[in-house]
Amino acid sequence: MTLAANLVIALIALLHLWFLILEMFLWNKPSGRRAFGLSAEFAAQSKTLAANQGLYNGFLAAGLVWGLSLGSNGLAVKLFFLGCILVAGIFGGLTATRKVLWIQALPAAIGLTLSLLS
């Protein structure tokens, strides 16, 4: 079960690294605008805000990698960062788009569950 939990956590870390790239570097590019359904005008106006948001996603990914690097001693770190991601995913699903529940909150809930069962 620990291996499954760690694989899910690694995938979540990669997902948040991808969010960092999308929000910090591709936000106003065609691929970034397409991913978030943004107009060119809105993307240009919100680029700085998105970069800040992307940086936070990078910190979440780094926290998960940190927890994984600690081996069995990293459970508390992994649970903390997965909890942060779950709360952010629920908030985003309620305030931005329900898609966030599936893309962010559900994987975090799965990672938390598998980690707690390990």
Q: For the chain, what are the domain ranges?
A: 2-117
Average pLDDT (24-41) is: 94
Quick one: average pLDDT of 57-82? 98
Q: Which of 16, 43, 27, 36 is nearest to 97 (CA)?
A: 36
Q: In this structure, what are the phi and psi dihedrals at residue 25, rounded to the nearest 5 degrees? A: -120, -25
Q: What is the mean pLDDT of the chain?
A: 96
Which among 93, 115, 12 has a CA at the least distance from the CA of 60? 12
| pLDDT at 1 (0 to 100) | 79
Average pLDDT over residues 45-56: 96
Kindly state the percentage of the chain with pLDDT values over 90.
Answer: 96
pTM: 0.93
